[in-house]
């Protein structure tokens, strides 16, 4: 039996009252490890320790804090092969994607290490004579972090790194489907020069430990990435305590393919946007809005390229798409396939459970054609390797269809027209817009977030993160007249 890996609470590795298995979705016979689950009492211990540690951490010198974040980031980048393999083993991304995610996570920490030295205040002239005004940012306090399973290292990194950079403490509940990557990151953090309790790892269920964390009056802020229903529940819980909220939730991203676009580019960007990460990402291209002038040629090329994709074990060479995360996710995906057919869409390829040499949660990437924007498969987030093609007659219709959604995270356009690209950037109602690129794949030094049901609260990443992880203080000083 594998050794049970523990929670990290108040500077100590501690066992909980129960444990869970972590199995490889590429090969269910592969048990990656056993992981303990935190109790309610342990969560309270973590919250109390975080409050005390935050005061100590805020008093650290700038260069001392900077050294901590640099060390974390550098170790993640140095160990990207090893930890990327762990990530792929437990989550199902192909090895290259897993390595890239871990390396990018390290860059988040080194970026925010530099930001520690860039925290500058402001001076203002008062309307009253002889009064000096100073404006500064201070830590918000204890931050609850609830992270999802689809980016098990990157999303925690882009939440924890700015939380620490701006002087806060963290109580972190990762998704139970990916405890290995969470434990590995916590282990790196635990070896740094930080107060005990500054970062706490409390593994447990969303409905148990996650809900208790969201309801706690001991947190000052909550940053969450996950589904819209869970986000609404967290918002309702946070309202009771006036908790500051930052939430990234669902999406239904559209890629508009215009008749003046490069077909090969359009297909390549679609494959990346729709099927990298097995389609299990909030920026996935799940609606393809295609101009009738190139619709048939685009569909022919896309279907052929999709059929040619190699689906396989995440750690095998040549795998382009791994398994989905779990049995329940696979069952849900297959239900969406049947629902799309029932609505009148035609499944041009894929959308089937695959029998592979290893028992796992394999599904072929699927494309619906003859879809309309009022179908459920065009309205709801599927979180699956499925996308649907909607034919339109003009650029104006394409833009209107892109914007016809309750979500608003990411959108993109494939076009050779500067005028269309410029107009689309100005008028697409999403927080992220791409031109001749996939709808996913964001830089770490600029803001990330959406509108509508996709996001709530201040943006993540880049300097915009300061809006959430700090609070503003304005001071007035009357120094008097020197004698």
Is 30 in a helix, a strand, or coil?
Answer: strand
Query: Using CA of residue 464, residue 433, residue 397, residue 290, what is the dihedral sign?
Result: negative
Question: 276 and 282 in contact (C-beta within 8 Å)?
Answer: no
Give Cα separations from 360 to 179, 283, 325, 352, 356 (angstroms): 18, 25, 9, 13, 8
Catalytic residue among 282, 349, 381, 460: 282
Catalytic residue among 75, 91, 115, 248: 248
The pairing of strands 199-201 and 169-173 is parallel
Give Cα separations from 411 to 242, 262, 399, 433 (angstroms): 33, 18, 10, 5
Is 363 in a helix, a strand, or coil?
Answer: strand
Q: φ, ψ for residue 147 (rounded to 5)?
A: -115, 155
Distance CA 110, CA 69 (A): 6
Distance CA 37, CA 16 (A): 5
Catalytic annotation present for 282 = yes
Catalytic annotation present for 343 = no
Distance CA 470, CA 166 (A): 7
Report residue 346 as tokens: 């035609």
The beta-strand segments (E) located in 264-380 are: 285-291, 346-349, 366-369
Within 8 A by CB and 6+ apart from 414, the residues are 255, 256, 257, 258, 261, 262, 265, 266, 269, 436
Query: Considering only CA atoms, which of 325, 347, 14 is closest in space to residue 196?
Result: 14
Question: 413 and 365 in contact (C-beta within 8 Å)?
Answer: no
Distance CA 369, CA 345 (A): 6
| Residue showing tokens 């809005």 | 289
Distance CA 346, CA 368 (A): 5
Maximum CA pair distance of the chain? 88
CB neighbours of residue 324 within 10 Å: 25
Catalytically active residues, by annotation: 248, 282
């Amino acid at each position: 039996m594998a050794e049970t890996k523990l929670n990290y609470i108040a500077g100590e590795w501690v066992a909980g009252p129960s444990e869970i298995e972590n199995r490889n979705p590429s090969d269910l016979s592969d048990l990656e490890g056993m992981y303990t689950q935190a109790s309610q009492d342990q969560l309270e211990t973590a919250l109390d320790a975080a409050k005390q540690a935050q005061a100590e951490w805020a008093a650290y010198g700038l260069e001392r804090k900077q050294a901590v974040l640099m060390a974390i980031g550098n170790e993640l980048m140095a160990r990207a092969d090893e930890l990327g393999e762990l990530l792929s083993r437990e989550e199902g991304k192909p090895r290259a994607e897993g390595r890239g995610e871990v390396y990018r996570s390290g860059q988040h920490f080194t970026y925010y290490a530099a930001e520690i030295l860039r925290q500058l205040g402001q001076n203002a002239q008062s309307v009253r004579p002889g009064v000096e005004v100073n404006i500064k940012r201070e830590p918000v306090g204890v931050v609850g972090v609830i992270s999802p399973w689809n980016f098990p290292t990157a999303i925690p990194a882009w939440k924890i790194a700015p939380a620490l950079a701006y002087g806060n403490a963290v109580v972190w509940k990762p998704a139970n489907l990916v405890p290995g990557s969470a434990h590995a990151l916590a282990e790196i953090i635990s070896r740094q020069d930080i107060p005990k309790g500054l970062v706490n790892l409390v593994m447990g269920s969303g409905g148990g430990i996650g809900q208790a964390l969201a309801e706690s009056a001991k947190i000052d802020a909550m940053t969450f990435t996950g589904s819209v229903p869970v986000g609404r529940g967290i918002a309702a819980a946070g309202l009771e305590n006036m908790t500051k909220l930052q939430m990234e939730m669902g999406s239904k991203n559209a890629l508009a393919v215009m008749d003046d676009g490069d077909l090969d580019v359009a297909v390549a960007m679609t494959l990346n946007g729709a099927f990298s990460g097995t389609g299990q990402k909030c920026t996935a291209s799940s609606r393809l809005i295609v101009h009738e002038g190139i619709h048939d040629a685009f569909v022919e090329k896309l279907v052929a390229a999709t059929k040619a994709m190699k689906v396989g074990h995440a750690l095998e060479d040549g795998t382009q798409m791994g398994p989905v995360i779990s049995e329940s996710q696979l069952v849900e995906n297959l239900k969406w396939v049947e629902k799309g057919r029932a609505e009148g869409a035609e499944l041009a390829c894929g959308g089937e459970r695959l029998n592979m040499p290893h028992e796992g949660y394999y599904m072929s990437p699927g494309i619906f054609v003859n879809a309309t924007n009022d179908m459920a498969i065009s309205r709801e987030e599927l979180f699956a390797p499925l996308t649907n093609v909607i034919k339109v007659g003009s650029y104006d219709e394409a833009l209107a269809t892109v914007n016809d959604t309750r979500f608003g995270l990411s959108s993109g356009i494939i076009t050779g027209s500067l005028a269309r690209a410029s107009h689309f950037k100005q008028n697409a109602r999403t927080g992220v817009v791409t031109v001749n690129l996939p709808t996913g794949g964001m830089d770490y030094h600029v803001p990330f977030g959406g509108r509508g049901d996709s996001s709530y609260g201040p943006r993540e990443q880049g300097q915009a993160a300061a809006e959430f992880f700090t609070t503003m203080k304005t001071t007035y000083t009357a120094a008097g007249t020197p004698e």
